[in-house]
A and B are shown apart, each in its own frame.
Chain A
Amino acid sequence: MSFWDDVFDFSDYGALIALLHNSLIAGALLGLIGGLIGVFVMMRDLSFAVHGISELSFAGASLALLVGVDVVAGSVVGSLAAALIFGLLGVRARERSSIIGVLMPFGLGLGVLFLSLYRGRAANRFGLLTGQIVSVDDPGLVWLSAVSVVVLVALAVMWRPLMFATVDPEIAAARGVPVRALSPIFMVILGLTVAMSVKTIGALLVLALLVTPAAAAMRVTVSMLWVPVLSVVFATVSMVGGILLALGGRLPISPYITTISFAIYLACRVAGRVRARRGWSARPAPPRRDEGRRSVTEGADGTDFVPA
């Protein structure tokens, strides 16, 4: 049996797809909420926080596996705890990074401990870290759908104030946007999304869903409408495409998802470079790009107004 037989094997494909009906719906839902959340993850510079939350989510899920309660519930508890700690303690970026850096290995260590104590099926263990294509059962899909609705409604309600608070916190605060309160609220939404993703794509690779699609979208457009739309499209294509491909092989699902996601990112980088050379919209790409950037970042070390 060759390597490629492990990677792609499309015999009996039709019968398998019918079995994975739920997984495909789950993939599409995750693509939708992951792609939207990813826009704010990028703009608020929370990539590292996402990674930290996913490791603590992994610890929660492993504990749940060990004591025999619902894995998703454990993963949600772990995620929310991490998200709240990061959101409340780490208001400033540097402070937050150090807290994440301290908590993340601890969470991973706890997860490894719980898993090594666990005496059940080995596939369950690896699944938490690297994702698995177990057909999502009906209760699982209900969980995911409910959480997706919560996330979508929350995002719809706070989209504009959150964007304002993210882009220009000082003017937003002066306009009455509750800049500080929005930060922990967003972290909770983010925590829920991470917890949902961990089960499918695995704790180690959540970033491929929550960061890469939005990062790719930002390479090709600056429109406040098209960035979220493209991000959702990229995330959904990665998720659903990854599931469809994984179906025909013996490997875990995550390499497929991460590879598609990364390929889209590369393509967008190339496209973005072409576009930058041609110039954005009516305005030609100026040779003084560096000058413009400098003036934008000037004084970013301020302590007076702290973007929450």
Chain B
Amino acid sequence: MNLRLVCLRQRVIALCLTTLSASVAWAIEAGAPAPEVNLPGVKDAISLAGLKGKVVYVDFWASWCGPCKQSFPFMNELQSKYRAQGFEIVAINLDVKRDDADKFLAEVPAQFNVAFDAKGDSARRFEVKGMPSSYLIGRDGKVVVAHKGFKEEDRKDLEARITQALASK
């Protein structure tokens, strides 16, 4: 396969993406009230209403998504570091098969709330535009940051936004 073919394919993909993005609404933005989430967790049900008054970091992930896997150690670190200040992570799994999620969790331990949404209704409500997607929700229940994807270099900025949100009442 030569470069020209790759270019052609990328052009086709770009075209597909533009038509795709034209047909759907843009993702939820900072300042918008966070949609309600009420989903089964590993043990108990997890709802955002039950975490009111806390700073919540909602993360959408799936077992097949590489960057999601990269973000798990980061989220473990955040949860243990800021729990005492009223910080909770809710990682919503969007795998169609629960088995896939369980296998992933056996391999990559999660020391934070994990919820399961095989139908993806919550992702639709949050208007998720990429995997992983994360939303930082302030104590007032409003979205502070909507973040797409995960790279190692995103760590610093995300953590700064979290400490900022924890500091504000």
- A, B in one complex: no
Chain A residues with CB under 8 Å of chain B are: none
Chain B residues with CB under 8 Å of chain A are: none
